[in-house]
Amino acid sequence: MLLHNLLPGLSIDCVIFGFHQNELRVLLLKMKQSERWSLPGGFIRLDRDVDEEAAHILHTRTGLDNIFLKQFHLFGKQNRSNTSHIEPLIEQNVLPASSFQWFDQRFATIGYYALVEYASVTQPIADTTSDCIAWCPLPDIPSLILDHHQIIEHARVALKEELNFRPVGRNLLPDEFTMPELQSLYETILETSLDRRNFRRKILSLGILKDTGKKRLGAANKAPSLYTFDEVKYAEAVEKGFKSGFL
C-alpha cells in the first residue's frame, strides 16, 4: 500500500450480501490482533475512479467481476473514524509504524452494497490485516469496528427500498429457480411474509421472468416450474426502474 498514492479523507466500505438457506449473509473480515470484524473496504488510488476502486475491492475479496454494486450512502460524522483498530496492528508489525499518520486522519466513507450468489464465492480472500474472511448471517453479526454495524443496517434499508423499484435477485439466485425460491428471497430482504398468489401475480406482471418449461424434480410436492430472468427485460428494468407510484 503506497499511502502517498491514495485519495486522503475518503474510504470505501462494501456490504456484500449473499443469500443462503433463506438467510441473507454478509461477507466480513476478522481483524488480526483483535476480536472485532470489519467490512471489506479500502482507500482510493489517485489514478482510479471511486466506483472503479469499489469494484476492485469486490473483485479482490470475492474473485467476481461485473457484479451489481451500488453506492448507497456517505457516512460523514466528524468523529466516525479512529485508530483503535489499527494500533495493535502497528504494535505487532502487521502495518508499518509510518502508516499511523495516514490512519489518524478523519475519513468519510462511501458505502456500496453488492448482491452475489452465495455459491459463486467459494473461496473469499482475506486482506493482510485480517486473519480470515467469512459469510456471517445477518442476525448473528459479530462485534465490528467503527460504525460498520450502522453501515450494514443502512445497506439493508437501501436494499429493501431498491426491491420496490428495480429487479433484485439475478446475482442472488442460481440461473434457474422456482417461484417459492424467488418469493423466499423477497421475503428475506423485506423481512416479512408475502401472500403466495399476490406475489406470483405481481412478479409475473413485471415481465422480467421466463418460464424455462422445465420442472424441479425430486421435490416432495408437485414438481415446481423453473424460471429464469429474461436478460434483456431485466437489464431494462434495472436501467429504468419499474413504473410504480405515479408513473
**Contacts with its own copies, residue ranges (CB under 8 A):** 7-10, 44, 46-52, 71, 73-74, 76-78, 106, 108, 110, 161, 163-165, 186, 190, 192, 194, 199, 202, 241-242, 244-247
The distance of closest approach from Cβ of residue 60 to its own copies in the complex, given in angstroms and rounded to an integer, is: 18
Query: Measured from the CB atom, is 222 or 243 closer to its own copies?
Result: 243
Query: Measured from the CB atom, is 100 or 186 closer to its own copies?
Result: 186
The distance of closest approach from Cβ of residue 185 to its own copies in the complex, given in angstroms and rounded to an integer, is: 11
The distance of closest approach from Cβ of residue 67 to its own copies in the complex, given in angstroms and rounded to an integer, is: 18
The distance of closest approach from Cβ of residue 153 to its own copies in the complex, given in angstroms and rounded to an integer, is: 15
What is the distance between the alpha carbons of residues 192 and 123, in angstroms, rounded to a whole number? 31
What is the distance between the alpha carbons of residues 75 and 9, in angstroms, rounded to a whole number? 12
Query: Measured from the CB atom, is 94 or 108 closer to its own copies?
Result: 108
Query: Measured from the CB atom, is 50 or 132 closer to its own copies?
Result: 50
CA 102 remoteness from chain centre: 27
The distance of closest approach from Cβ of residue 198 to its own copies in the complex, given in angstroms and rounded to an integer, is: 9
CB count in 10 Å sphere of residue 27: 23
In 3-state terms, the chain is what percent helix, strand and coil (to 5)? 35, 30, 40
Q: Reduce the DSSP state of residue 243 to 3 states and report it.
A: coil
Cβ contact 64:14 at 8 Å? no
The distance of closest approach from Cβ of residue 244 to its own copies in the complex, given in angstroms and rounded to an integer, is: 5
**Rounded-to-10 torsion of CA 162, 163, 169, 172:** 60
Query: Measured from the CB atom, is 134 or 194 closer to its own copies?
Result: 194
Query: Measured from the CB atom, is 47 or 140 closer to its own copies?
Result: 47
- For the residues of 92-110, what is the DSSP string, one character each? TTSS-GGGHHHHTS--EEE
Q: Which residues contact 29 (CB under 8 A, 6 or more apart)?
A: 37, 38, 39, 40, 126, 127, 129, 130, 132, 133
